[in-house]
Amino acid sequence: MLTTAAGAELLVCQFPQALVFEGLTAGLTVASSPMGCLDMAVSKRYAGIIIYFPARKIRARGALIELCADLTTLALTRATPKCVSLDCRHRALFLRLQEAGIENVEIRLPAKVVDPWKMWAGLMAHESSLRIDLHLSRLCPFLRYRPISDQSELVTCGAYSNRMVLGGSRLREVCQAETYLSCEFYMNPRRTQ
Ligand code: SF4
């Protein structure tokens, strides 16, 4: 495992809320806003960049995508390994992150305690559980999201004209699992939107 003992330095960005770190904090440079993260990212070369973001903060998603797009295009950070840690799986957000050049995402428990070095070790080991394309392959392409407030949205089925609201075990065990491939609506969409 690559840790501070090996001299690695990580840039950790967390917004719009702060998390508590467990494990070693030496070697971590922490930014609490996208602008702060960008400033620090271009001030020196880091071994890795990790971004913690609460996926349900709908309004802040634009800033996250912009930050990721900047980090994947700037000369100093383009090749730096990056990972975005989210507290839930969200197909539409994954797609936007992928378009912004992000290849790795971690899905963490909604707990507020995180260990950036542990995630870093997974990133360095090229763990498949972090690959955004694999996450996307396990989420039904008919998942649709409709915001109903700043922090919540309805998840509906695009193969059923968005008239079916998804949640509970169907969402977890069918729509957000490879079993979506055998879902009756996926196989025979009534009307897609
Ligand atoms: S109900 Fe079926 S088609 Fe609709 S989103 Fe879920 S898995 Fe996909």
Digit-coded pLDDT (tens) for 27-47: 999 999 999 999 999 999 999
* CATH architecture classification, 4-137: 3-Layer(aba) Sandwich (3.40)
Report the C-alpha gap between 122 and 176 in whole angstroms. 23
For ligand 1, whether the C-beta of 142 sits within 6 Å is yes
Question: What tokens were used for 174?
Answer: 């069918």
Atom of ligand 1 nearest to the CA of 189: 3
Strands 82-86 and 48-53, how do they pair?
Answer: parallel
Q: Report the C-alpha gap between 137 and 131 in whole angstroms.
A: 10
| Residue 103 pLDDT > 70 | yes
Specify the residue with its C-alpha closest to ligand 1, atom 4: 157
Q: What are phi and psi of 101, to 5 degrees?
A: 100, 5
Predicted TM-score (pTM) of this structure = 0.92
- Residue 116's nearest CA partner among 45, 7, 23 is 23
Query: In ligand 1, which atom is closest to the CA atom of 141?
Result: 8
- Stretch among 59-63, 179-183, 188-192 having the lowest mean pLDDT: 188-192
Instruction: Read off the pLDDT of residues 104-161 as tens digits, 9 standing for 90 and up.
Output: 999 998 777 899 999 999 999 999 999 999 999 999 999 999 999 988 999 999 999 9
Q: Alpha-carbon distance 104 to 186, whole Å?
A: 27
Q: What are phi and psi of 88, to 5 degrees?
A: -165, 165
Delimit the domains of the chain by residue range.
4-137, 143-187
**Mean pLDDT in residue range 74-87:** 96
